[in-house]
């Protein structure tokens, strides 16, 4: 999934591309070569484009080859398997048409899995982004120690999901770690081993904790790009700290906000199985059986390749739809300039 | 200058290694992939080392894949890619997938073709039944084998005036009450998450002689249906739930902060049901002053005891290799079946010997009289309560990990008071049957060998 960085201006560029091209070393290499033999030329609007089709193809070929090998090929294979019953060790597969999809979609447990995925995505995105925004707003004020926070807050993103899952499983265990004290005060309050809601809170907290750092970097970068003069002017007009945040800083980081919503939601649908596998294994009683974990479990542990392939396609469609919906309905309200 | 020296050094190393290589390259290398990790993985490496040192022709290159699932998964990928390892370790419930594939070279045939005379009746009947075809031909080599036992804390039982482990569940229930009365907080530890229902459902059904599925637990064909919602297992779950509600039995899992094996070893819980493979682990981690022992799983009063099932993994030889490589594989498999290797393997891991000669050799060596290993012979006894052929001897059901997952979810509903015992087990069986039908459709036209 590629989403362009809103830090980069998305509006039509001023016709300066040609100039940049000419100034670069690449431009000079073509100087003196007759126009017809030149691989690229500068158009009337100042944009650079290629006249020879093959040079362009040759330049994008490595990238296309990579994407084909590691994305389209396996995705095509999955598409085929989704319509068959594939034997794990090979040696035959039965064509079943839409059988795998109807089996999934007529299963109430699978719908339960979709619902828990949506709850998880919404909760973890909201938690991670709001925490990251608050931290970034505070760090941006250059309070004492903000340079340290800036470095320290980035680290959690580098922690692998299994290690993270282990740590949080211990911290949130009802009979050991921190939550044991809470349970000591209010016996029976917290038990993710049997209470589905508690287990969901566990994976939401663990996942959000990791993404707080990621979101934080982007928010901080966006906040620091806001001209200080705007905030100083508002302060001189008597706007309070909260007012300045609400009326100036948050609207100005809206493009980043939108970018992070897309990334966070997408990742919470597709990148959460490591944490689920270590912390809850989809339980208790399927409360945290997220779609992506079910794919992993059915495909890799159950060796039901076709069922997992069909589920992957459903998940892929869901994420695509969600992203389209966001661009269609949310992005309209974002002003990049 | 420094760079020049470095290059020289690297060059020298490269040239040096070129000279060293040929000596090692004389040996024919075969790949062996296995799933064990941690301490057991080190022990597998030692076995490989013993084999490599024992002869000059072959070298087994043994690689841990991290887990049983990963070993199967990676081997499937390698097999589909045309570069499978020669030998792979496949865990018990993956046996059926292998049997229905065209990916293997049957163990009995491999040994025959390479001139090894193996006395297959030397393997314990329960172990043999699990890995043999319906004709009794062994398709894979039993490797690490285990079964479930009751672990009990002798010190705690002494406090309630008992010197023996409970033989029936009625007795066990009375003991749990007494232990609770004597101030013990957690008389019985158990877990119901994911795979952990194997000792509660599978081994319980085995020792009670109750069917898990029709068609002889699936040995009679791929159209078997689950039956454990109509057997004594229902009563057991009902009792376990009431013990749980009374605080006599506790769920101990990584999610609660301590798993049941660790809880027993630490003395926090006084009884638990787990594999004999944990015997070594508990011996090493328990307080040396703690007295504990193992016993056969309890049965309900008035039930005739049957053989427990074997668990663990076996070694499969895969297609797609040269006759020379198969010769090497046969030599390796023959080597690990020797009684001396059985003794080494069982000593360092806790897994049981898989052959009668291995067991006799260990007995003759006084293995079972030595304190840290004493009690492990109970596992052999538990697997051989009755003569061969009286029960299914195992489970042969497709996608069994998914069925375990369904059961775990069903049990969690019961213990969270979301469903009644019968209701949840009925639903589990219904969903499990759907998984079996899906497996059957995937292997349409195939019959069990």
Mapping DSSP onto H, E and C, the string for A18-41 reads: HHHHHHCHHHHHHCCCCHHHCCEE
What's the pLDDT score for residue A17? 39
- Which among A90, A194, A304 has CB closest to B415? A194
What's the pLDDT score for residue A77? 84
The domains of chain A are located at 102-333
CA atoms within 13 A on the CB side of A51: 11
Query: How far apart are alpha carbons B384 and B361 in whole angstroms?
Result: 18
Best A187, A192, A195, A301 residue to mutate vs chain B (most B CBs within 10 Å)? A301
pLDDT digits (tens, 9 = 90+) for A168-185: 998 888 888 788 888 888
Question: Is residue B216 one of the residues assigned to a domain?
Answer: yes
Question: Hey, which residues does B123 pair with through a beta bridge?
Answer: B355
Token duo for residue B106: 């049957």
B255 contacts A87? CB cut-off 8 A: no
How close A177 comes to chain B (CA, Å)? 8
B415 and B326 within one domain: no
Best B257, B263, B445 residue to mutate vs chain A (most A CBs within 10 Å)? B257
B193 contacts A285? CB cut-off 8 A: no
Phi, psi of B44 (to 5 degrees): -60, -40
Q: Show which residues on chain A lie within 8 Å of chain B, measured between beta carbons.
A: 85-91, 94, 96, 103, 109, 169-170, 173-177, 180, 191-196, 199, 279-286, 297-298, 300-304, 306-307
pLDDT digits (tens, 9 = 90+) for B167-202: 999 999 999 999 999 999 999 999 998 888 899 999
Rounded (10°) angle between helices A196-224 and A254-270: 150
Token duo for residue B91: 């865990």
What's the pLDDT score for residue B339? 87
Size of interface A-B (CB pairs under 8 A): 110
How close A171 comes to chain B (CA, Å)? 9
B332 touches chain A (CB under 8 A): no
| Residue from B359, B317, B368 nearest B139 by CA | B317
A194 contacts B412? CB cut-off 8 A: yes
What's the pLDDT score for residue B170? 96
B402 and B271 within one domain: yes
User: Is residue A189 helix, strand or coil?
Assistant: coil
Task: Spell out which residues of chain A touch residue B69, defining contact as CB-CB under 8 Å.
Answer: 300-301
Strand duo B249-251 + B58-64: pairing: unpaired
Query: How far apart are alpha carbons A234 and A223 in whole angstroms?
Result: 15
B415 and B322 within one domain: no
CB atoms under 10 Å from CB of A10, counted, come to 13
B260 and B191 within one domain: yes
How close B381 comes to chain A (CA, Å)? 32
If one counts the domains in chain B, the total is: 2
Query: How far apart are alpha carbons B108 and B428 in whole angstroms?
Result: 37
Q: Which of these three, B334, B357, B383, is where a domain ends? A: B383
Contact indicator for A264, A129 with CB cutoff of 8 Å: yes
B102 contacts A89? CB cut-off 8 A: yes
Phi, psi of A146 (to 5 degrees): -65, -25
B285 and B230 within one domain: yes
B365 and B256 within one domain: no
Query: How far apart are alpha carbons A170 and A147 in whole angstroms?
Result: 30
How close A76 comes to chain B (CA, Å)? 17
How close A194 comes to chain B (CA, Å)? 6
B55 and B33 within one domain: yes
Over residues B331-343, the mean pLDDT reads 89
pLDDT digits (tens, 9 = 90+) for A91-132: 778 899 999 999 999 999 999 999 999 999 999 999 999 999
Question: Is residue B5 one of the residues assigned to a domain?
Answer: no
Q: pLDDT tier at B88 (50, 70, 90 boundaries)?
A: very high
Contact indicator for B180, B250 with CB cutoff of 8 Å: no
B69 touches chain A (CB under 8 A): yes
Task: Spell out which residues of chain B touch residue A177, defining contact as CB-CB under 8 Å.
Answer: 257
CA atoms within 13 A on the CB side of B311: 21
Q: Between A11 and B298, name the one with better pLDDT.
A: B298
- Ranking B132-141, B154-163, B172-181 by mean pLDDT, the lowest is B132-141
Token duo for residue B321: 């290799």
Any idea what the Cα angle at residue B196 is, between residues A181 and A272, rounded to 5°? 65
Question: Is residue B9 one of the residues assigned to a domain?
Answer: no
B418 contacts A285? CB cut-off 8 A: yes
Please compute Rg for chain B using Cα positions: 24
How close A321 comes to chain B (CA, Å)? 30
Instruction: Give chain B's mean pLDDT.
Output: 89
B266 touches chain A (CB under 8 A): no
B301 and B319 within one domain: no
CB neighbour list of residue A270: distance below 8 Å, 6 or more residues apart: A292, A315, A319
B447 touches chain A (CB under 8 A): no
| Residue from B111, B222, B261 nearest B449 by CA | B222
Residue numbers of the domain that contains B328: 26-146+311-383
How close B97 comes to chain A (CA, Å)? 8
Token duo for residue B172: 């066990």
What DSSP letter does each residue of B244-275 carry, written as one string?
A: HHTTSEEE--TTTTS-HHHHHHTTSSSEEEEE
Query: How far apart are alpha carbons A307 and A293 in whole angstroms?
Result: 13
Question: Is residue B277 one of the residues assigned to a domain?
Answer: yes
B254 contacts A286? CB cut-off 8 A: no
Strands (E), B125-176: 141-146, 148-153
What's the pLDDT score for residue A15? 42
- Which among B253, B413, B442 has CB closest to A94? B442
Query: How far apart are alpha carbons A199 and A172 in whole angstroms?
Result: 9
B222 and B156 within one domain: yes
Strands (E), chain A: 40-42, 48-50, 84-86, 93-95
CB atoms under 10 Å from CB of A257, counted, come to 20
Question: Is residue B10 one of the residues assigned to a domain?
Answer: no
What's the pLDDT score for residue B126? 80
Contact indicator for B351, B276 with CB cutoff of 8 Å: yes
Phi-psi region of B389 (alpha: psi -120 to 50; beta: other; left: phi over 0): left
Task: Spell out which residues of chain A touch residue B254, defining contact as CB-CB under 8 Å.
Answer: 169, 173
B263 and B360 within one domain: no
B441 touches chain A (CB under 8 A): yes
Token duo for residue A150: 């800036």
Q: Contacts by B227-230 with C-beta closer than 8 Å and gap 24+?
A: B227/B429, B228/B201, B228/B425, B228/B429, B229/B422, B229/B425, B229/B426, B229/B428, B229/B429
Task: Identify the closest residue of chain A to B318 by CA–CA distance.
Answer: A89
How close A121 comes to chain B (CA, Å)? 22
CA atoms within 13 A on the CB side of B357: 11
| Residue from B347, B291, B344, B322 nearest B165 by CA | B291
Residue with tokens 């008992």: B162
A194 contacts B402? CB cut-off 8 A: no
What pTM was estimated for this model as a whole?
A: 0.84
Q: Which of these three, B358, B383, B408, is where a domain ends? A: B383
Phi, psi of A222 (to 5 degrees): -65, -40
B166 and B282 within one domain: yes
Contact indicator for B448, B219 with CB cutoff of 8 Å: yes
CB atoms under 10 Å from CB of B318, counted, come to 22
Within chain A, what is the greatest distance between any pair of CA atoms?
Answer: 84
Rounded (10°) angle between helices A196-224 and A108-140: 40
What CATH code is carried by the domain that includes residue B166? 3.40.190.10
- Which among B69, B103, B441 has CB closest to A89? B103
What DSSP letter does each residue of B164-175 carry, written as one string?
A: S--SBHHHHHHH
User: Is residue B204 helix, strand or coil?
Assistant: helix
Task: Identify the closest residue of chain A to B77 by CA–CA distance.
Answer: A89
B78 touches chain A (CB under 8 A): no
B186 and B54 within one domain: no
pLDDT digit of tens for each residue in chain A (337 aa)? 344 444 333 444 444 434 434 333 343 344 444 444 444 555 555 566 667 788 888 888 999 999 998 888 888 888 899 999 999 888 778 899 999 999 999 999 999 999 999 999 999 999 999 999 998 988 888 777 777 877 888 888 888 888 898 999 988 888 887 888 888 888 878 888 899 999 999 999 999 999 999 999 999 999 988 998 998 999 999 988 889 988 889 889 998 999 999 999 999 999 898 999 999 999 899 999 999 999 999 998 889 999 999 999 999 999 999 999 888 887 777 777 6
ipTM confidence: 0.85
Contact indicator for B105, B86 with CB cutoff of 8 Å: no
Task: Evaluate if residue B124 carries a pLDDT over 90.
Answer: no
Token duo for residue B339: 């009684």
B102 contacts A91? CB cut-off 8 A: yes
CATH architecture of A102-333: Orthogonal Bundle (1.10)
Task: Evaluate if residue B390 carries a pLDDT over 70.
Answer: no
């Amino acid at each position: 999934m590629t989403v362009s960085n809103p830090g980069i201006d998305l509006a039509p560029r001023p016709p300066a591309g040609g100039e940049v091209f000419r100034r670069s070393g690449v431009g000079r290499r073509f100087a003196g070569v007759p126009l017809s033999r030149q691989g690229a030329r500068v158009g009337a609007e100042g944009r650079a484009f290629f006249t020879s089709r093959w040079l362009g193809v040759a330049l994008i070929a490595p990238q296309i080859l990579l994407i084909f090998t590691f994305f389209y090929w396996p995705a095509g294979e999955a598409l085929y398997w989704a319509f068959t019953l594939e034997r794990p060790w090979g040696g035959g597969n039965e064509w079943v048409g839409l059988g795998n999809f109807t089996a999934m979609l007529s299963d109430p447990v699978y719908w339960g899995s979709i619902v828990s995925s949506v709850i998880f995505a919404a909760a973890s995105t909201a938690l991670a982004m709001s925490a990251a925004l608050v931290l970034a707003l505070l760090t941006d004020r250059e309070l004492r120690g903000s340079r340290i926070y800036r470095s320290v807050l980035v680290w959690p993103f580098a922690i692998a999901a299994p290690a993270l899952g282990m740590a949080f499983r211990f911290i949130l265990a009802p009979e050991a770690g921190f939550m044991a004290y809470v349970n000591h005060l209010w016996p029976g309050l917290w038990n993710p081993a049997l209470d589905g809601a508690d287990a969901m809170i566990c994976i939401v907290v663990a996942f959000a904790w990791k993404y707080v750092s990621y979101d934080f970097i982007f928010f901080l970068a966006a906040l620091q790009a806001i001209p200080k003069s705007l905030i100083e002017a508002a302060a001189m007009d008597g706007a309070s700290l909260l007012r300045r945040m609400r009326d100036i800083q948050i609207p100005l980081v809206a493009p980043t906000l939108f970018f992070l919503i897309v990334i966070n939601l997408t990742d919470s649908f597709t990148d959460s199985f490591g944490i689920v596998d270590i912390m809850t294994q989809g339980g208790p009683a399927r409360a945290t059986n997220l779609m992506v974990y079910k794919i992993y479990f059915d495909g890799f542990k159950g060796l039901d390749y076709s069922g997992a392939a069909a589920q992957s396609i459903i998940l892929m469609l869901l994420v695509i739809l969600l992203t389209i919906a966001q661009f269609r309905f949310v992005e309209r309200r974002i002003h990049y300039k | 200058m420094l760079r020049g020296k470095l290059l020289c050094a690297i060059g020298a190393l490269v040239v040096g290694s070129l000279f060293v290589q040929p000596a090692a390259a004389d040996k024919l290398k075969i790949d062996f992939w296995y799933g064990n990790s941690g301490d057991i993985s080190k022990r597998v490496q030692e076995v490989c080392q013993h084999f490599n040192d024992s002869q000059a022709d072959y070298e087994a290159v043994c690689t841990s894949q991290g887990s049983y699932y990963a070993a199967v998964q990676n081997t499937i990928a390698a097999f589909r890619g045309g570069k499978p390892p020669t030998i792979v370790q496949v865990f018990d419930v993956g046996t059926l997938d292998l049997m229905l594939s065209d990916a293997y070279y049957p163990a009995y045939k491999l040994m025959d073709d390479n001139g090894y005379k193996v006395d297959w009746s030397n393997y314990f009947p329960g172990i043999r039944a699990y890995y043999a075809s319906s004709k009794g031909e062994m398709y894979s080599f039993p490797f690490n084998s285990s079964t479930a036992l009751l672990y009990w804390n002798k010190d705690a039982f002494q406090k309630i005036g008992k010197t023996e482990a409970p033989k029936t569940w009625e007795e066990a229930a009375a003991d749990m009450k007494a232990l609770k009365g004597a101030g013990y907080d957690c008389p019985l530890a158990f877990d119901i998450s994911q795979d952990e229902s194997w000792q509660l459902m599978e081994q319980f059904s085995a020792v009670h002689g109750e069917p898990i599925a029709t068609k002889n637990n699936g040995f009679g064909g791929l159209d078997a249906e689950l039956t454990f919602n109509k057997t004594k297992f229902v009563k057991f779950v009902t009792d376990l739930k009431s013990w749980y509600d009374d605080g006599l039995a506790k769920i101990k899992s990584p999610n609660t902060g301590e798993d049941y094996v660790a809880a027993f070893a630490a003395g926090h819980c006084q009884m638990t049901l787990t594999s004999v493979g944990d015997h070594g682990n508990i011996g090493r981690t328990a307080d040396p002053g703690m007295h504990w022992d193992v016993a056969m799983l309890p049965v309900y009063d008035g039930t005739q005891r049957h053989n427990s099932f074997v668990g663990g993994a076996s070694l499969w030889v895969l297609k797609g290799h040269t006759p020379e490589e198969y010769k090497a594989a046969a030599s390796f498999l023959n080597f690990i079946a020797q009684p001396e290797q059985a003794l080494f393997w069982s000593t360092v891991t806790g897994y049981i010997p898989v052959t009668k000669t291995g067991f006799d050799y260990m007995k003759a060596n006084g293995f079972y009289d030595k304190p840290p290993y004493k009690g492990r012979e109970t596992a052999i006894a538990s697997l051989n309560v009755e003569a061969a052929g009286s029960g299914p001897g195992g489970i042969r059901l497709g996608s069994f990990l998914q069925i375990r997952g369904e059961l775990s979810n069903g049990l969690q509903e019961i213990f969270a008071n979301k469903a009644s015992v019968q209701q949840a087990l009925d639903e589990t069986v219904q969903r499990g049957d759907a998984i079996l039908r899906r497996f059957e459709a995937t292997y349409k036209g195939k019959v069990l060998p």
